[in-house]
Structures are given as C-alpha cells and as structure tokens.
A and B are shown apart, each in its own frame.
Chain A
C-alpha cells in the first residue's frame, strides 16, 4: 500500500455559508417590511438608552422589537421589555452574536412582522465586526467619554458600518472630545459613513436618528424587492 499526496484547491471564504444564510434572512425580513439594524459599540456607550429613547419616540407610530446580546444577565432586556417586545440573547461568554442565535431570539418573540428589528450586539468593537447578522444597516456608536481616537484603532468596525452615532453629547463640555475629529477619522476609513449625534437621556438628536432610520427603511426595503 502506498500513500498518495493530493492537494485540493479550495479558495473560499470560511464565512461563505454564513454570509449566504445572512443574505437569505435579510431578504426574508425585507420582503415582509422589517428593517434589521445591528447596533455595535463598546460596553457602556448607550445602546440600550438609545433604544429606549427610540421606542418612546415611535410609540404608536412604528413597531419595533429588540434582540439584545450580552455575556450574562437579562438586565438590558428588563429595561427594554417595558417598552417593546425584547428577547435577551446570552452568549455564555462568547464575544459576539452569530446568526443562529439571532434566529432563536426571533423565534422566541414569535417572529413578529415589526417595522424595525434592532439587534443590540455584545459590547465589543472587535469581533462583532466579522459577523453578518442579516442586518440591513450596521450602526456603530461612540460616546464622547470614550475618546475621539477610536475609529482608527478599530478599522474593521467602522469600515463595515453605514452610520456612526456619537452618544452622550451632553457631556461634551466636560471631556476632551472633538466631534469633528472622530468624524474625520471615521470617514477616512468609510467615506460613505452617515454621522449622527445624540444625547439620548435628554432626547437631543433623537428626532434626526429616527428620521434617518425611517428614510433608510424606505430606501433599503425598496432596493431589496
């Protein structure tokens, strides 16, 4: 018996199947009128607070549901459940969400045909950038207390996002943060990035944020059909 060596040429993205699955799910959601928004940021940037403000602003006008990812606890879901249907996705230590977990969360909510499905990702500017969750819109949040040098340090996150929201704008007088600098740094990496600013606790900028989402929903759902 002899051993033969054979080289099989593959040249395929390891995520190819995951990306195809995400694309199919994206189309399914679009077909029934749901815009999926993946929210990403460091821990403590204000993703949950922004969603609370969004839910209050839209009460009675647009329907929304939230899937919220954390390593442990359902603290964020408890906050959001008072306002909108919310499922907590606990990753048990994993640093990011993947599509199968998102699907499980949607099923837990009964797959509601909402206008907007928000996926609040695990607080992390690194790994979540590599995973397509079937979102139509990827939004990265940066708070003024984190520093305006973040985009260049986490290029993949900013390169793969369509919008950046600067949060906690009401704290700007107290911290050395330049909105112009963070926007310039982010646009160097993603020139098409839409830049928004909010102070969600006081409601500043929430109207622009909501308007942006409504416009994107109309535009992106029309282009997917």
Chain B
C-alpha cells in the first residue's frame, strides 16, 4: 500500500521529466533506497511493474541501488556507517545526523528521444 503511493509520486515525477525533454519513452528509472527509507525494495519493484503498465515507463528498466545508512556527528563531524540502528558517534558519543539512507531518491531517468536527421526532413 505504502510502496504504491510512493510509486505514484515517483512515476509522476519521472513523467514530468519525460515531457520536459519531449521524449516518447522512458528506458530506465534509477532510484536509491537505504535502511531508513521506509521502502521495501522487492515491493517497490513490484509496484513499478504493476503501475508502469500502459504508461511511457512500461518497458523501462527499474534499477534500485541499495545504500547503507551513513551519519555525521554534530559535535566532532566524524562520518560513519550506522550499524544495528545505533545512532551514537563511535568517536565521542555525540548526537548524529543521518546523511544517507533515510529517503527514497530518484537518481536518474533514461529517455528515448526520436531524432529526425536533417536529410530526412528535406
């Protein structure tokens, strides 16, 4: 349910990019998810398969890059990978801010543009 509502938002954003570049078809959609994205990759891929049908994304490859959870200490600025959801700086036990792995990111969109060569137009 949740993955489907996210996919609806994602497909709308991809289509806006397609229209902006005047492309007919989308060939690839690449996203990034992490442990705190609130997204299950298999369910997200299933949502894409189902919801892209009949749209310009229907034949697009859907690529999910799974990244780790990275945080930065607010005190000593150490950057580290959060393991087991332990959100304390390993250097100084300070409070940390997540810098990667807590959102669903649209990384890139591959488009197919039909190019009409000059000699064909004459």
Q: Which residue numbers of A lie inside 8 Å of B, CB to CB?
A: 1-15, 18, 93-96, 98, 126-127, 129-130, 152, 155-156, 159, 188-192
Which size bracket describes the interface of B in this complex?
35 or more
The CA of A98 and the CA of B8, in the complex, are separated in Å by 14
Q: Which 7 A-B pairs have the closest CB atoms?
A: A130-B38, A127-B2, A155-B85, A13-B103, A14-B104, A4-B113, A4-B115
Distance between Cα atoms of A7 and B26 in the complex (Å): 10
B117 contacts which chain A residues (CB < 8 A)?
A: 1-2
Contact B9–A159 (Cβ < 8 Å): no
Which residues of B (61-107) have their CB < 8 Å from a CB of A?
A: 85-88, 95, 98, 102-107
Are B105's CB and A1's CB within 8 A?
Answer: no
| B113 and chain A: residue at smallest CB distance | A4
A14-B87 in contact (CB<8A): no
Q: Are B111 and A9 within 8 A (Cβ)?
A: no
Contact B106 A11 (CB under 8 A): yes
Interface of B toward A, CB cutoff 8 Å: 1-2, 5-6, 9-10, 13, 17, 21, 23, 27-28, 31, 35-38, 85-88, 95, 98, 102-117, 120
Within the complex, the shortest CB–CB distance from A71 to chain B, in Å, comes to: 11
* Residues A189 and B85 in contact, CB atoms below 8 Å apart: yes
Q: Is the CB of B113 within 8 A of A3?
A: yes
Asked if A93 meets B1 with Cβ closer than 8 Å, knowing A2-B117, A6-B21, A14-B103, the reply is yes
**Cβ contact of B17, chosen from A10, A130, A190, cutoff 8 A:** A10
What residues of chain A lie closer than 8 Å to B105, measured between beta carbons?
11-14
B75 to chain A, nearest CB (A): 12
Quote the shortest CB–CB distance from B2 to chain A (angstroms): 4
- In angstroms, Cα B115 to Cα A82, docked, is 66
Chain A residues with Cβ below 8 Å from B2 are: 95-96, 126-127, 130
Asked if A14 contacts B113 (CB within 8 A), the reply is no
CB distance from A128 to the nearest CB of B (A): 9
Q: Is the CB of A9 within 8 A of B1?
A: no
Which residues on A sit within 8 Å (CB–CB) of B116? 1
Contact B108 A159 (CB under 8 A): no
A10: min CB distance to chain B, Å: 5
Which chain A residues border B28 with CB–CB below 8 Å?
Answer: 7
**CB–CB A7/B110 < 8 A:** yes
Do B87 and A188 touch across chains, with their CB atoms under 8 A apart? yes
In the assembly, what is the distance between CA of A3 and CA of B23, in Å? Answer: 10
B29 → A minimal CB distance (Å) = 10
User: How many whole Å from B69's CB to the nearest CB in chain A?
Assistant: 9
Partner of B95, one of A15, A152, A191: A191
Contact between A8 and B17 (Cβ–Cβ < 8 Å)? yes
A159 touches B107 (CB 8 A): no
Partner of B108 from the list A3, A7, A14, A93 (CB cut-off 8 Å) is: A7
Expressed in whole angstroms, the Cα–Cα distance for A127 and B38 within the complex equals 7
Task: List residues of chain A with CB within 8 A of the CB of B9.
Answer: 14-15, 18
How many angstroms between the C-alpha atoms of A60 and B103 in the bound complex? 42
Query: Given the complex, which residues of B lie within 8 Å of A93, measured CB to CB?
Result: 1
Cα-based distance from A13 to B107 in the complex (angstroms): 9
- When C-beta atoms are compared, the residue in chain A nearest to B94 turns out to be A191
Distance (whole angstroms) from the CB of B27 to the closest CB of chain A: 6
